Amino acid sequence: MIKDTDCRRPPVWQTRPGLVPAWIYNQALILQHAAPGPVFIPLRYVSVMAILMEREWVFCDYIGGRIAVSVWHHFATQSRDDLHEGVTCQMDLFSPEGEEILRRLPMEFHQALNNAVKKSAEKRRHPAQVIALDTHLRRGRNPEAEH
């Protein structure tokens, strides 16, 4: 798995307002809170790696030389009243080719996030453990005071 967040950013070709659907934003946030650092989500059908960081999401073409395709930033979470509402943001594109990827990104991103959330949940599952309790403490007695 790729752990390097280094992704070259050419000059911005276009910046536009965007709206991240709630079902994408909420899943991404779940993954970010479960991880200590950036979260890497491979989007195989568009040949892009999504790198989710606290203040921005970078969509990087790792096959074509680690070049940013799009960066989503300035998420306006405070503007939504409900968790089912999308989140506005700014979307930087670095070339006209990025528009084609941007059109295909929501469904690909959603599917990849679903898979990542399932894997993350499986990792967190722990078998139940029985914890033995000290019977002296349960009865209100302090065994150290008796010594």
Structure confidence at residue 104 as a pLDDT band (50, 70, 90): confident
Structure confidence at residue 1 as a pLDDT band (50, 70, 90): very low
Per the prediction, the chain carries an average pLDDT of 83
Share of the chain above pLDDT 90, in %: 37
How many Cα atoms occupy the beta-carbon half-sphere of 109 within 13 Å? 24
For 81-122, the three-class secondary structure string (H helix, E strand, C coil) is: CCCCCCEEEEEEECCCHHHHHHHHHHHHHHHHHHHHHHHHHH
Tell me how many degrees the CA angle 27-29-33 measures, rounded to the nearest 5: 120
φ, ψ for residue 111, nearest 5 deg: -65, -45
Share of the chain above pLDDT 70, in %: 79
Structure confidence at residue 128 as a pLDDT band (50, 70, 90): low
| pLDDT tens digits, one per residue of 66-83 | 899 999 999 999 888 888
pLDDT above 80 (res 132): no
Average pLDDT of span 56-72: 89
* pTM reported for the whole predicted model: 0.76
**Beta-carbon contacts of residue 49 (< 8 Å; ≥ 6 apart):** 2, 40, 41, 42, 43, 59, 60, 62
Q: Which residues of 114-127 are buried (b: 16+ CB within 10 A; e: fewer)?
A: eebbeeeeeeeeee
